[in-house]
């Protein structure tokens, strides 16, 4: 019987999880771009740093998804 660590590692390094994270990151980023345009158009520039932070978060989620995909493909 596999250990809990092995099962967790297998679950976290699955191809499906990598793809889901990349898709979610894309949705996050496109939502942030829309919010950025709307806020900039209304002159509410004080809220733009929060939107920029969310964009950085979306890029990090996409990078994590890519890393998981790479690990899943290497492990077979």
Q: pLDDT, tens digit, for every residue of 23-49?
A: 999 999 999 999 999 999 998 889 999
39: which 2 tokens?
């806020």
Residue 3 placed within a domain: no
Residue 1 placed within a domain: no
CA distance 32 to 49: 11
Residue 2 placed within a domain: no
Residue 21 placed within a domain: yes
pTM greater than 0.75 (yes/no) = yes
- Axis-axis angle for helices 15-42, 48-75 (nearest 10): 170
Please give the tally of structural domains in the chain: 1
DSSP-based three-state secondary structure for 3: coil
DSSP symbol at 76: -
Q: How confident is the model at residue 75 (pLDDT cuts 50, 70, 90)?
A: confident
Residue 4 placed within a domain: no
- Residue numbers of the domain that contains 44: 14-75
């Amino acid at each position: 019987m596999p250990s809990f660590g092995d099962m967790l590692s297998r679950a976290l390094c699955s191809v499906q999880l990598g793809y889901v994270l990349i898709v979610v990151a894309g949705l996050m980023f496109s939502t942030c771009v829309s919010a950025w345009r709307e806020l900039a158009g209304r002159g509410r520039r004080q809220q733009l740093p929060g939107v920029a932070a969310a964009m950085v978060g979306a890029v990090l989620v996409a990078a994590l998804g890519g890393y998981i995909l790479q690990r899943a493909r290497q492990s077979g």
